[in-house]
């Protein structure tokens, strides 16, 4: 029932939001083009616009602590909820962890082969100074003690991401122990998360200005080298996502469920178009639930796997964070060792849970990970800002494809997938009836709407 409920009423707002995001997307593209043109036409003036990009990064950094706190606390609640449903929940979580790790590894391998950002030499002196300051007096004991904040509140005011993460983990587990008594608090944190993401959405409207200043300064400093490096990471990211979808997910889907990846993606064609138009996989969530049930996966499996996957099965985000981090580090002549790459990126994957469908969440997570491990590299987020919007579609499409594949696999492994019905659907003899889905919703309109809990 929640499936049909969330489908019909979500159409008008989704369309409205899609128009606004489309306008922002076009504004960022225009700003990038103007920044590139200015960087070539007046390089000396263009380099003076760097504070515009730095200002936008500062606004994003301002949001890191509340975003991480809300997403981690609510994420721990989701894990507990998913684990309680038994076999399906535990199987889904195990699969999500395995695939996210595999996506990380693939992103690392491709990133280390392509070396995106190498040779840009973006302000290496300042980065070196910041690194020297960051390393002053640092040892293992000091690092571990530094994770403990002076108070619960100081973790947010001092801008320490690791301290915020510690407080969020403690709060999340404490709310688990409270049981039903903790539900009002969790509900309050859900509302706080909506407020935080609303503020983030407002900040994202400054993205064209930040992108203009950052790109203009980079092109003014390095010329064609900047464009070449940006092209390398952008096309490398798209190629890696395609490799992951058709190579990894396609193979796993065939071996695990004997389903052809091309047939599944063709069945979800309209949802992919919706995601491309919104740059967010969240817009297609209600339709994915309905279509997976129509395909033959049982309602309990769909109800557990799809919503949980939207928070914990972020394959495209894993690949993006990997390659973006390597790009930023190499562009500032501060390449990461393999050990640093692994620890930093696992932190990012944890911190990104629950923010899959939020515009700007990828940039915020990227900045948070760098701030926690290599603070001297955080300003480099502005370098990638101009192409972040270009990569958001591939990120969302990969996340969505991963969750569709996961639902079919979990259904097959738990014997809750009707393969004969799926064959009829793929053959076109049992088409998805959207009119019926909407009629079903109208029958349920009298029920109390749980919409606010499903942003």
pLDDT at 139: 47
Which pLDDT band holds residue 35 (cuts at 50, 70, 90)?
confident
Query: Across all residues in the chain, what is the average pLDDT?
Result: 75
In this prediction, residue 94 carries a pLDDT of 87
Q: Is the pLDDT of residue 453 over 50?
A: no
Which pLDDT score is estimated for 108? Answer: 84
With CA atoms as reference, report the closest residue to 275 among 8, 3, 18, 7: 18
Answer for the pair 40, 219: CB distance below 8 angstroms, yes or no.
yes
pLDDT at 440: 41
Residue 269's pLDDT is what? 87
- On the question of pLDDT at 268 being above 70, the answer is yes
What integer is the mean pLDDT of 421-431? 88
Q: How far apart are CA 411 and CA 405, in angstroms?
A: 10
Q: Is the pLDDT of residue 455 over 70?
A: no
Q: Please report the pLDDT score of residue 439 as a whole number.
A: 31
Q: Residue 254 above 90 pLDDT?
A: yes
Q: Between these two residues, 164 and 419, which has the higher pLDDT value?
A: 419
Q: Is residue 161 predicted with pLDDT exceeding 70? A: no
The CATH classification number of 2-445 equals 1.10.3860
pLDDT digits (tens, 9 = 90+) for 316-345: 888 888 888 888 888 777 777 777 777 777
- Residues 88-100 have a mean pLDDT of 85
pLDDT over 80 at 429, yes or no: yes
- Nearest alpha carbon to residue 118 among 212, 215, 232, 240: 232
Would you state the pLDDT for residue 401?
93
What is the rounded average pLDDT of the residues 266-286? Answer: 75
Q: What percent of the chain has pLDDT over 90?
A: 13
* Residue 124 pLDDT exceeds 70: no
Q: Is a pLDDT exceeding 70 seen at residue 103?
A: yes
Q: For residue 89, what are the contacts with CB-CB under 8 A and spacing of at least 6? A: 81, 82, 83, 304, 308
pTM for the structure as a whole: 0.65
CA 287 to CA 310: how far, in whole Å? 13
**366-411 pLDDT per residue, tens:** 777 777 777 777 777 766 766 776 677 788 889 899 999 999 999 9
Q: Are 305 and 234 in contact (CB under 8 A)?
A: no
Query: Can you tell me the distance from the alpha carbon of 53 to that of 241, in angstroms, rounded to the nearest whole number?
Result: 28
Greater model confidence, 455 or 350: 350
Residue 228 has pLDDT above 60, yes or no: yes
């Amino acid at each position: 029932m929640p499936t049909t409920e969330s489908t019909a009423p979500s159409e008008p707002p989704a369309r409205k939001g899609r128009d606004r995001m489309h306008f922002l997307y076009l504004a960022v593209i225009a700003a990038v083009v103007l920044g590139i043109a200015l960087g070539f036409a007046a390089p000396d003036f263009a380099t003076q616009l760097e504070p515009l990009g730095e200002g936008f990064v500062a606004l994003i950094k301002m949001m890191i602590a509340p975003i991480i706190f809300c997403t981690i606390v609510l994420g721990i609640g989701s894990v507990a909820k998913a684990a309680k449903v038994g076999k399906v929940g535990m199987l889904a979580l195990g699969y999500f962890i395995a695939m996210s790790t595999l996506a990380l590894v693939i992103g690392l391998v491709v990133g280390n082969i392509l070396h995106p950002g190498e040779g840009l030499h973006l302000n290496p002196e300042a980065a070196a100074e910041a690194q020297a300051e960051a390393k002053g007096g640092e040892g293992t004991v000091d690092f571990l003690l530094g994770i403990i904040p002076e108070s619960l509140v100081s973790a947010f005011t001092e801008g320490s991401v690791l301290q915020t993460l510690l407080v969020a983990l403690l709060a999340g587990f404490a709310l688990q122990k409270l049981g039903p008594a903790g539900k009002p608090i969790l509900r309050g944190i859900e509302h706080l998360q909506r407020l935080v993401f609303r503020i983030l959405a407002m900040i994202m409207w400054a993205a064209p200005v930040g992108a203009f200043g950052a790109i203009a300064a980079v092109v003014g400093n390095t010329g064609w080298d900047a464009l070449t490096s940006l092209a390398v990471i952008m096309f490398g990211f798209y190629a890696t996502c395609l490799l992951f979808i058709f190579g990894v997910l396609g193979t796993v889907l065939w071996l695990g469920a004997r389903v052809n990846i091309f047939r599944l993606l063709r069945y979800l064609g309209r949802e992919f178009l919706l995601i491309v138009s919104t740059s967010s996989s969240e817009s297609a969530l209600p339709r994915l639930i309905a279509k997976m049930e129509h395909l033959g996966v049982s309602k309990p499996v769909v109800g557990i796997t799809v919503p949980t996957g939207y928070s914990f099965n972020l394959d495209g985000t894993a690949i993006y964070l990997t390659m973006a981090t390597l790009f930023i580090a190499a562009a500032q002549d501060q390449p990461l060792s393999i050990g640093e790459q692994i620890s930093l990126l696992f932190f990012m994957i944890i911190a990104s849970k629950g923010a899959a469908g939020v515009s700007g969440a990828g940039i915020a997570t990227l900045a948070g990970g760098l701030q926690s491990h290599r603070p001297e590299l955080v300003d480099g987020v502005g370098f990638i800002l101009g192409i972040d919007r270009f990569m958001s579609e591939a990120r969302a499409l990969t996340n969505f494809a991963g969750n569709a594949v996961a639902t079919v696999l979990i259904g097959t492994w738990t014997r809750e997938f009707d393969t004969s019905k799926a064959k009829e659907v793929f053959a076109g003899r049992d088409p998805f009836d959207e009119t019926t889905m909407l009629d079903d919703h109208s029958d349920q309109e009298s029920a109390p709407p749980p919409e606010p809990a499903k942003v």
